[in-house]
A and B are shown apart, each in its own frame.
Chain A
Amino acid sequence: MGNVIGIGASPKRKEDQRFLTGRGNYVSDIKRPGMTAGVFVRSPHGHAVLRGIDKSAALAAPGVIAVLTGDDVKADKLGSLPCGWGISDAKGVPMKEPPFPMLAQDKVRFVGDMVAFVVAETPAQANAAAELLTVDYEVLPSVVGVLEAVRPGAPQLFDDVPNNICCDWELGDKAVVETAFRKAAHVAKLSLVNNRLIGNPMEPRAAIAEYEPGTDRFTLWTTSQFPHVVRFLMGALVLNIPQHKLRVVAPDVGGGFGVKQFHYGEEAVITWAAKRVMRPIKWVASRSEGYVSDRHGRDHVTEAELALDETGKFLAFRVNTLANMGGYLSTFGPNIPTNLYGPLLGGVYTTPAIYCNVKVVFTNTVPVDAYRGAGRPEATFVLERIVDVAASEMGIDRVEIRRRNMIPKEAYPYQTPVLVQYDSGDPVGCLDGALVAADVKDFGIRKAESARRGKFRGLGYSTYVEACGLAPSRFAGRLGARGGLYESATVRVHPTGQVTVMIGTHNHGQGHETTFAQIVSEKLGVSFENVDIVFGDTDRVQFGMGTYGSRSLVVGGAALSKATDKVVAKGKKIAAHLLEAAEVDIQFEAGQFSVAGTDRMKTFEEIAGAAYVPHNYPLEVLEPGLEEQAYYDPVNFTYPGGCHIAEVEVDPETGTVTLVNYTAVDDVGTVINPMIVEGQLHGGIVQGVGQALFENAVYDEGSGQLLSGSLMDYCMPRADHMPMMKVATHSTLCTHTPMGVKGCGEVGTIGSPAAVINAVVDALSHLGVTHVDMPATPNRIWRLLQNASLPVAAE
């Protein structure tokens, strides 16, 4: 028994010491004896027939060990990259699922599509040789926008995917919605774009692969959010490596945000190549390479209509979206704009009827997949923008219209018309809290002060709900998931009472080594310092689905909680034996096993020690050892929610939008570590602000070139873009997770884009501006102001 640090405390993070001193162990830091360097040759064209590759000059270059192409992949009869979700249209017709080869075969479909892999003694030699590869392309017209891609006569990516439509997906009762629209007193309409984003974790992707002929085993070190899933997909479905012969390690990973949760072709190619060259190979992406190969996010074009009665009550919501998949289906690709989008269109409102149609479309762009929030920011943006439009058109206050339609706290659990049932929440409580924290009542004074300086000030609201911890497996399976969505944890109690936890989630900034240790410390009464969390290595951790979708604490934490319960149960058996009492009479509290109503007790350490020294155990009923494992499959999603309020100032001279205040009140359920939760909220909010004001992946139609292809061209939020934010939690407890947690990693990114854009539109509303697409860059705002009837001075 020592320094117990439990739920609700904010100990300093265990992982910080190594990161602060430069002793983190990222993939690019690792060296292996005899290591070679790998470089990918990527298509410079958005769309082209691959007529042939001449390797001879590259092979003859100094230091070159191998040059591999799609023909070699074919010759070795390897699989293509699998998609993890198989969605279907309303009639049950499955999506079109063309193969995604690990090196391009016959055709390239986006700038960055991989055509060859060069292995040489040094990175410089590999790069030089890559330049010598002669690739014969027959360039075809590219199509990069979804509207263009579905038009008749558009370039076709795949012969058997007419009109480039992968799936025509729908959700909700179309007829009921149509009836409701006929009865509406008012219909608000809005067309909008959800801009394409690039995740940009600060650590570029990297991988090292090694084959050991002595054991016939492969090891892949990779910047992954889910090493076990990579092992499963790559081993079983791509390279035909038995699972027990393949170790996948994701050590310290420098940020993920979704971008690192997919199985990438680079991982498969480098692992395959390592056996062919019989030496370890390292590949580290440059940032610019990441721009054309990391999976992108968002990219929707949407038409939405909201039907209201004369009092502003929502009657029905209808949404038609074209969602860009890019050139191929990535691991979760088709799941994001469908299952993680449509069911969230209810938001925190009582809208009785919702219909959503999503056309999932192929284009000559980098494949699109989950990026922080994944589907839910897109749903929130459509809904919260159109609520503002409706309020403005009907002359109802924006807060009032939200309040009138919010699900009251007492109405939970609440079944929406689009599949999901929210277990708990308090949208009105979050709204009320945010109104006070943001000092909305004095906004008029601040606006007048801005006007005196010639600036337009605006206030924007966003209320939202999200779905975390993708689940349960049974439900996800019906929606098209090809894998399970549980998590596992093993709690190993050493003979000295110290604890090692092996968990299937992955820590890449979220502070799991700290939060999970707090859970164990509290539940077992052991010292916080005496708990270590092991993750990210398929040889050390039994199994796991990794970290994405704010699932780690929700699902992984639940598995851990269950496993510690099993440790306590086993400890009670041991204590009963040692104390010569009945098992039912043993109590466990604050790290001590005692016989109820007596002073006879054993400490956790004594039980741990005795577990490994079973001199007089009744072995037929009591096994030695103290190590327990649990797999937890959730019963429902969790539904965090909240209210965000943004305040901006627009400079009409330059079009610059400055975020001046930001307030968030979020319901994330039980907070295990307030410091870490606050950090997650901050980071999430700024990623959403980035989408709203700065970030945009821009392609050139026709050539398919990515114009925002480096950090020089893609504007990332920097420290001086942000004000100090006010964040707070207003939690209701999740009713079905063991600790009441809901998840917090994505809420900021989900709530913030709509709040910021609603504030920008509010600032410009006196000029007749009703909508601004993201990102609200100075150029876009300035052009808008030139077209508006700009008064001489702000009102």
Chain B
Amino acid sequence: MTVQISFTLNGRPTTIDVEPATLVTELLRETLSLTGTHIGCDTSQCGACVVHLNGLPVKSCTLLAPALDGATLLTIEGLQGAPGSNQLHPMQEAFREHHGLQCGFCTPGMLMTAVALATEKPVLTEADVRHGLEGNICRCTGYQNIVVSVMAGAAAMNAAKGE
């Protein structure tokens, strides 16, 4: 048995039939070939799978696909804006500038959480960022450059908003 769901995926209307037990990570990675959203654990601890559901960050590894019906979903592939554009989002640019990634596996989830943090609170303190990243594990960077990146990225997002 499948159910039909319609949702907006990275700005595009999408209608698809899914098994009700399908996880959003499976739908994205296996059916839609959007492999930027990663699976790093099976206990919703690591945050490699964070996407935005209706503008809020969620761990897509514990979200069932039928919950997407009528929703707006943003994944790492949609963060840059125009499809095919090489222009990075200010938060991506900040991670690149401040060496906020090493192996890159946690990076999409980190970026999605970071963008949500910066959207939610215009001026972020170091403590805000560290607390806000609690749900995302990085084993490579020791977090320091991620924290620096998120603060810089948030400032750049704010500046862009003001223009």
User: A interface vs B, CB < 8 Å?
Assistant: 12-13, 15-24, 26, 28-29, 31, 200-204, 252-257, 284, 286-288, 508-511, 675-676, 678-679, 682-687, 710-712, 716-720, 722, 724-725, 748
Within 8 A of A (CB), among B78-101: 79-80, 86, 88, 92, 95-97, 99, 101
Contacts of A722 in B (CB 8 A): 130, 142-144
Q: Nearest Cβ distance between residue B150 and chain A, in whole angstroms?
A: 9
Q: Tell me whether A712 and B35 are in contact in the complex, defined as CB-CB below 8 angstroms, given that A22-B77, A255-B139 are known contacts.
A: no
Contacts of A725 in B (CB 8 A): 142, 144
Contacts of B24 in A (CB 8 A): none
Measured in the bound complex, the distance between the Cα atoms of B23 and A286 in whole Å is 15
Contact between chains at A201 and B103 (CB < 8 Å) = yes
Please, what's the 1-or-0 string for B86-127, where 1 marks a CB less than 8 Å from any CB in chain A?
A: 101000100111010111111110010000000000000011
Contacts of B35 in A (CB 8 A): 22, 26, 28-29
The 4 closest A-B pairs by CB, nearest first: A22-B36, A19-B104, A254-B105, A509-B103
Contact between chains at B77 and A679 (CB < 8 Å) = no
Does B60 touch A at the CB level, under 8 Å?
Answer: no
Does B4 touch A at the CB level, under 8 Å?
Answer: no
Measured in the bound complex, the distance between the Cα atoms of B126 and A724 in whole Å is 9
Measured in the bound complex, the distance between the Cα atoms of B97 and A203 in whole Å is 24
Contacts of A510 in B (CB 8 A): 102
Considering the complex, give the chain A residue whose CB is closest to the CB of B136: A719
Q: Nearest Cβ distance between residue B120 and chain A, in whole angstroms?
A: 16
Contact between chains at B41 and A287 (CB < 8 Å) = yes
Contact between chains at B104 and A509 (CB < 8 Å) = yes
Contact between chains at A682 and B42 (CB < 8 Å) = no
Contact between chains at B88 and A711 (CB < 8 Å) = no
Does B138 touch A at the CB level, under 8 Å?
Answer: yes
Q: Tell me whether A719 and B77 are in contact in the complex, defined as CB-CB below 8 angstroms, given that A22-B108, A201-B139 are known contacts.
A: no
Contacts of A511 in B (CB 8 A): 102
Contacts of A16 in B (CB 8 A): 95-96, 101, 104
Contacts of A253 in B (CB 8 A): 103
Contacts of A12 in B (CB 8 A): 96-97
Q: Nearest Cβ distance between residue B102 and chain A, in whole angstroms?
A: 4
Q: Tell me whether A28 and B39 are in contact in the complex, defined as CB-CB below 8 angstroms, given that A202-B103, A254-B105, A255-B103 are known contacts.
A: yes
Contact between chains at A24 and B104 (CB < 8 Å) = yes
Q: Among B38, B77, B139, B145, which residue has its beta carbon within 8 angstroms of that of A200?
A: B139
Contacts of B107 in A (CB 8 A): 19-20
Does B46 touch A at the CB level, under 8 Å?
Answer: yes
Q: Nearest Cβ distance between residue A38 and chain B, in whole angstroms?
A: 16
Contact between chains at A203 and B40 (CB < 8 Å) = yes
Contacts of B131 in A (CB 8 A): 719-720
Measured in the bound complex, the distance between the Cα atoms of B126 and A29 in whole Å is 34
Measured in the bound complex, the distance between the Cα atoms of B96 and A16 in whole Å is 6
Q: Nearest Cβ distance between residue A201 and chain B, in whole angstroms?
A: 6
Contacts of B146 in A (CB 8 A): 719
Contacts of A675 in B (CB 8 A): 99
Q: Nearest Cβ distance between residue A286 and chain B, in whole angstroms?
A: 5
Q: Among A21, A23, A203, A257, which residue has its beta carbon within 8 angstroms of that of B105?
A: A203
Measured in the bound complex, the distance between the Cα atoms of B97 and A201 in whole Å is 24
A-B contacts, 24 listed (Cβ < 8 Å): A15-B104, A16-B96, A20-B88, A21-B80, A21-B92, A26-B35, A202-B38, A203-B105, A254-B103, A255-B102, A508-B103, A509-B140, A679-B99, A679-B141, A683-B140, A684-B142, A686-B143, A710-B42, A711-B43, A719-B134, A719-B143, A719-B146, A720-B127, A725-B144
Contact between chains at B141 and A683 (CB < 8 Å) = yes
Contact between chains at A711 and B41 (CB < 8 Å) = yes
Q: Nearest Cβ distance between residue A23 and chain B, in whole angstroms?
A: 7
Contact between chains at B106 and A202 (CB < 8 Å) = yes
Given A16-B104, A31-B33, A202-B38, 20 new contacts (CB under 8 A): A19-B101, A20-B96, A20-B111, A21-B77, A21-B79, A22-B77, A29-B29, A200-B139, A202-B103, A202-B105, A204-B40, A675-B99, A683-B142, A686-B143, A710-B45, A716-B139, A717-B143, A718-B134, A718-B143, A720-B131
Q: Nearest Cβ distance between residue A165 and chain B, in whole angstroms?
A: 34
Q: Nearest Cβ distance between residue B85 and chain A, in whole angstroms?
A: 10
Contact between chains at A710 and B102 (CB < 8 Å) = no
User: B interface vs A, CB < 8 Å?
Assistant: 29, 33-43, 45-46, 48, 75-77, 79-80, 86, 88, 92, 95-97, 99, 101-108, 111, 126-127, 129-131, 133-134, 136-147
Contacts of B141 in A (CB 8 A): 679, 682-683
Contact between chains at A685 and B42 (CB < 8 Å) = no
Contacts of A679 in B (CB 8 A): 99, 102, 140-141, 145
Contact between chains at B104 and A252 (CB < 8 Å) = yes
Contacts of B142 in A (CB 8 A): 682-687, 717, 722, 725, 748
Q: Nearest Cβ distance between residue A501 and chain B, in whole angstroms?
A: 20
Q: Nearest Cβ distance between residue B105 and chain A, in whole angstroms?
A: 3
Contact between chains at A720 and B130 (CB < 8 Å) = yes
Contact between chains at A687 and B101 (CB < 8 Å) = no
Contacts of A257 in B (CB 8 A): 139
Contact between chains at A716 and B137 (CB < 8 Å) = yes
Contacts of A255 in B (CB 8 A): 102-103, 105, 139-140
Q: Among A15, A19, A684, A718, which residue has its beta carbon within 8 angstroms of that of B133?
A: A718
Q: Nearest Cβ distance between residue B52 and chain A, in whole angstroms?
A: 13
Q: Nearest Cβ distance between residue B107 and chain A, in whole angstroms?
A: 5
Contact between chains at B130 and A254 (CB < 8 Å) = no
Q: Among B48, B75, B102, which residue has its beta carbon within 8 angstroms of that of A683?
A: B102
Measured in the bound complex, the distance between the Cα atoms of B39 and A678 in whole Å is 28
Tell me which of A15, A675, A682 has the highest count of chain B C-beta atoms within 10 A of its own C-beta: A682
Contact between chains at A13 and B48 (CB < 8 Å) = no
Q: Nearest Cβ distance between residue B140 and chain A, in whole angstroms?
A: 5
Considering the complex, give the chain B residue whose CB is closest to the CB of A690: B139
Considering the complex, give the chain A residue whose CB is closest to the CB of B36: A22
Contacts of B97 in A (CB 8 A): 12
Contact between chains at B75 and A719 (CB < 8 Å) = no
Contact between chains at A254 and B147 (CB < 8 Å) = no
Q: Nearest Cβ distance between residue B89 and chain A, in whole angstroms?
A: 9
Contact between chains at B40 and A20 (CB < 8 Å) = no
Q: Tell me whether A20 and B95 are in contact in the complex, defined as CB-CB below 8 angstroms, given that A254-B103, A509-B102, A509-B103 are known contacts.
A: yes
Contact between chains at A710 and B43 (CB < 8 Å) = yes
Q: Among B40, B77, B79, B147, which residue has its beta carbon within 8 angstroms of that of A202?
A: B40
Contacts of B42 in A (CB 8 A): 286-288, 710
Measured in the bound complex, the distance between the Cα atoms of B87 and A17 in whole Å is 10
Q: Nearest Cβ distance between residue A329 and chain B, in whole angstroms?
A: 26
Q: Nearest Cβ distance between residue A709 and chain B, in whole angstroms?
A: 10
Measured in the bound complex, the distance between the Cα atoms of B103 and A252 in whole Å is 8
Measured in the bound complex, the distance between the Cα atoms of B30 and A334 in whole Å is 41
